[in-house]
Structure 1
Amino acid sequence: MTVYHFVAASERFLTQEEPLEEVLKERRRHYAEENKDIDFWLVRQPVFLDSPSLSDIKGQLPQPAAAVVSTDAKFITFLKLRLEFVLQGTFEAPTDVIPDPLASAS
């Protein structure tokens, strides 16, 4: 299993109201310069939020939701501080309850 960290908000907030695309593009560029594998993904309507352990977070999110998921906890903390109006969480996957979160990543 892998530990994933995430920030989540309404899909509209993440994809239209905030400059998230610019932040992710800059991060991709930096990773390319460092020859580092991508460890973050934008996931629209994340199914991992349907797990019982994350139901509190899902209940607070306007739908449809989206999330930035990463294996890098520091990057997710940076996004939480940068975007401000997002919810932050962690989960392990894949499990019997939580499928691979990257199955619907873009």
Structure 2
Amino acid sequence: MKTYYYLVASRKFLFEDEPLEEVFRERKRNYQEREKEIDFWSIDSPAFLDAPELAEVKAKCPQPAGAIVSLDPSFITWLKLRLEYVLTGEFEAPSETIPDPLASLVSA
């Protein structure tokens, strides 16, 4: 199991209203220069919000939701400070109630 740190918000807010594409592009470039493996992902429809232990988070988040998931808690903290109207937290996955959040992602 891994600990994933997340930031969730309205899908429209995260992927249309905020210019996160530029943030991701710059961060990926920085990781390539340092030969560091990518440790963050955007998730269009986060299945982890369906877990019973995250029901309260899902209830507070406008639907449909989007998420940014990372193995780096500092990155999620930095994003939270940069954005408004977001919820953050962490979870362990895969578990009995939370699938691997990256399982549904398609490799480029």
Which TM bucket (shorter chain)? over 0.9
Task: With the length of structure 1 as denominator, give the TM-score of the two structures.
Answer: 0.96
| Residue deviations 1:40-80 (CA, integer Å, cap 9, x gap) | 00011100011111111100111111100000000000000
CA distance in 1 between partners of 2:104 and 2:14 (Å): 16
Aligned residues: 106
**Residue of structure 2 equivalent to 1:94:** 94
Cα RMSD over matched residues? 1.0
What is the letter of the counterpart of residue 52 of structure 1? P
For residue 59 of structure 2, what is the aligned residue in structure 1?
Answer: 59
What are the ranges of 5 or more consecutive residues in structure 1 without an aligned counterpart?
none
CA displacement at 1:103 relative to structure 2? 1.8
Using the TM superposition, give the Cα deviation of residue 104 of structure 1 relative to its aligned residue in structure 2, in angstroms.
2.7
Query: How far did residue 105 of structure 1 move?
Result: 3.4
The one-letter code of the counterpart of 1:66 is: G
User: How do 1:43-82 residues align onto structure 2 when only pairs under 5 Å count?
Assistant: 43-82=43-82
Structure 1 position 84, deviation (Å): 2.2
Q: Is the 8 A contact 1:10 1:62 kept in 2?
A: yes
After TM superposition, what 4+ stretches of structure 1 lie above 6 angstroms from structure 2? Answer: none
What is the TM-score with the length of structure 2 in the denominator? 0.94
> Which residue type is aligned with residue 63 of structure 1?
Q
Aligned to 2:20: 20
Contact 1:50 1:58 in 2 (8 A): yes
Partner of 1:85: 85
